[in-house]
Structure 1
Amino acid sequence: MTTFLAAVLTATAPVVLAALGGLLCSVSGVFNMALEGQLLWGAFTAVLFSHLTGSAWLGVAGAVLCTTLYAVLLSVPAVTFRADPVVVAVGTNLLALGLTAFLMRRIFGSGGTFGAPDLAGLPTLAALGLDVPVAGSQSPLVPPAFLLVAAMAWWLGRARSGLRLRGIGQHAEAAESIGLRVPLYRHAAVLGAGALCGLGGAQLALGNVTLFSEGMSAGRGWVAVVAVMLAGARPWQGLGACLLFGAAEALGFRLQGLGLPQQAADAAPYLITLLALVVVGAARRKETPA
């Protein structure tokens, strides 16, 4: 059971970080569907900087910085020029998929998967002296991922800036009428989401494993989008959706070890998340008065 719980936390952490970024944008009034591409870009740049510097922590820092800059590709068109954020996000997702595959061949000299023996991965908490059940096998990025859920829930519900961001998302014209700089808040939300996706990508590539493979985000960003749709402006509900995905992924790995075909094990987390979206959507329609 301890091993299973540890696997759930490991699988959930990157999705939670991406979902928090998407929720931040959603609250501000920008629907961010670029989480998949940003998560993939974060994973690639984490491995790149770790390989170049020999330091996993510099890999994390590089991923956060580069993915924040990558988020500008969504922020400027969607906020400054008021382009459709869905169309822009689809473009940035496709760009990340193609660009990482191209750069992988140009920089690492190979396609598919890169995992050099000297590639520095994140240490476990146990290796840092915190050998406690379940958490000891996690990277140092996993506990902050879950603590950020509590922090964002408090910030959106209590802090002045968080309440202002929610107000902007609910009625931007009214917020502008009282002097709030709506574009500035929205730019900050989109760039903050990029930083969170960079952190999630670093966890995925240097914490969950120590390698980069083409398309390794493997739909996790889309699961994060679903979590945002399920949660609305409620981070705790988003965490629940992400934990559901993490539990399904951990269960899929366990069932694969018992003989379940790999394709079925890989599909299980996404199928369960899709079913959850259908059930929650149906429940909400029933609650809506006719």
Structure 2
Amino acid sequence: MHVFELGFVAAVLLAATPILYAALAGAISAQVGVFNIALEGQMLWGAFAAVAGSYYTGSAWGGVLTALVSTALFSVVLAVGAARWHADPIIIAIGTNLLAIGLTGFLLRVLFDTSGSFSPRGLEGLPKMAFLADVPVIGPIFAGQTALVPLAFVLIVAVGLWLKRSAGGLRLRGVGEHPDAAAALGVNVASYQTWVTIAGGALCGIAGAQLALGNVTVFTENMTAGRGWIAVAAVMLVAGRPLWLPVACLGFGAAEALGFRLQGIGAPQQLTDAAPYAITLLVLVATRIRFAKRASLTST
């Protein structure tokens, strides 16, 4: 087994991409003061919508568009509840996570008369960038990936730079850091929070589409398997610095890809499956310690 080869790098990117889209959604929501832990449910709904959209339209890109639009609509519950009605976003997010699990399972039975998983013959998966196969170094890494993989990194850089260097980005950050001051300057805080949360839902839709039509070509009940919670941990780890999200998400992707490689040499599946989540717990503990130290320094 050759772990540190270009094929392993490709596997890391494949595993990390859905988490990266979801983490970007959580990061921009956090920038406007809405802590979004509904990433798991939104990604799961996006995965279901992508497969259903691809099945009914006969096009994988039709599935991606279906996932993007429908997940944005799915996130309206959190956006309106938290921004307009000032309800607790944690409670709403937990409710939407549970709703996504139940609703996708229910619709799987109603629309497709099946349960567990859905992968009909002829289901369109996202096309790979096979035209890169002959390019040295880049080819083995990206030829088997979809266009959504490099797009994720482009979006991270674009959003990170926009938040740091543009007037609109600084205004958006101001809404999250000092909402009263932003409101005093005439900024509609609720509107910013609503639309940014909905945009985050659209990103989670793309995350689900990549997971269901890019990483695999199937929908399985609860197939996100905690990836949304890993994205939440990544958001907490970078602490308001979206440009660092690729580092955090690639770390989680490496843990998942390494787990698959270790299964190939006989490691117990239960142990390797737990690796990304064990790392998530360690990240949360480290983040809590860091925040505690920062609070103690501030109080002194």
Fold match (TM-score > 0.5):
yes
Q: What SS is found at the alignment partner of 1:226?
A: helix
Query: 1:25–1:193: 8 Å Cα contact kept in structure 2?
Result: yes
Sort the Cα spacing of 1:186 and 1:286 in 2 relative to 1 into closer, same or farther, 3 A. closer
Long gaps (5+) in structure 2: 134-138
8 A contact 2:7–2:140 mirrored in 1: no
Q: Following TM superposition, by how much is the alpha carbon of 1:274 offset from its aligned partner in structure 2, in angstroms?
A: 1.6
- Aligned residue for 1:100? 104
**1:105-254 to 2 correspondences below 5 Å:** 105-126=109-130, 129-131=131-133, 132-254=139-261
| C-alpha distance in structure 2 between counterparts of 1:175 and 1:286, whole Å | 29
Q: Structure 1 residues 155-164 or 228-237, which shifts more? A: 228-237
Is the 2:105–2:221 contact (alpha carbons within 8 Å) kept by the matching residues of 1?
yes
SS of residue paired to 1:276: helix
Q: Which amino acid aligns with 1:166?
A: R
| 1:56 counterpart residue number | 60
> 1:42 is matched with which residue?
46
Q: Deviations over 1:111-157 (max 9, x none)?
A: 1011112100001111xx23223011111110001111111110110
Q: Match of 1:248, as an amino acid?
A: A
Q: Secondary structure at the match of 1:134?
A: helix
Partner of 1:87: 91
Q: Answer whether contact 1:241 1:273 (CA < 8 A) is retained.
A: no
Matched residue pairs, number? 288
Give the Cα–Cα distance (whole angstroms) in 1 for the partners of residues 291 and 75 of structure 2: 32
Residue of 3, 7, 13 corresponding to 1:9:
13
Structure 1 unmatched runs, 5+: none
Is the CA contact 2:233–2:283 (under 8 Å) kept in the aligned structure 1?
no
Aligned pairs (5 A) from 1:57-76 = 57-76=61-80
Q: 1:236 to 1:58 in 2, by over 3 A?
A: same
Pairwise CA distance, 1:283? 4.3
Q: Secondary structure at the match of 1:133?
A: helix
Aligned-partner Cα distance in 2 for 1:254–1:57: 30
Matching residue within 268, 271, 288 for 1:281: 288
SS at 2:115 equivalent = coil
Q: Give the distance between the partners of 1:174 and 1:101, measured in 2 at CA.
A: 44
Query: What's the offset of the Cα at 1:21?
Result: 0.4
User: What letter matches 2:52 in structure 1?
Assistant: L
Residue type of the alignment partner of 2:74: Y
Quote the Cα distance in structure 1 between the aligned partners of 2:150 and 2:121. Answer: 27
C-alpha separation in 1, matches of 2:101 and 2:152: 25
Say what the alpha-carbon RMSD is for the aligned residues.
1.2
Shift of 1:34: 0.5
SS for the counterpart of 1:59 is helix
* 1:286 Cα offset (Å): 4.3
CA distance in 2, matches of 1:36, 1:284: 24
Q: Percent of counterpart pairs with the same letter?
A: 54
Paired amino acid for 1:264: L
Question: Aligned partners of 1:29, 1:285: CA distance in 2, in Å?
Answer: 20
What displacement does 1:238 show?
2.3
Q: Larger deviation: 228-237 or 167-176? A: 228-237
Q: Secondary structure at the match of 2:197?
A: helix
Describe the SS at the equivalent of 2:125: coil
Aligned AA (1:130):
L
Counterpart of 2:136 in structure 1 is none
Q: Alpha-carbon deviation of 1:276?
A: 2.6
Q: Which amino acid counterpart does residue 17 of structure 2 have in structure 1?
A: A
Kept after mapping to 2: 8 A contact 1:74/1:89 = yes
Please give the alpha-carbon distance, in whole angstroms, between the structure 1 residues aligned to 2:117 and 2:42.
Answer: 19
One-letter code of the match for 1:226? Answer: A
Question: What amino acid does structure 2 have at the position aligned with 1:11?
Answer: A
TM-score (norm 1): 0.97
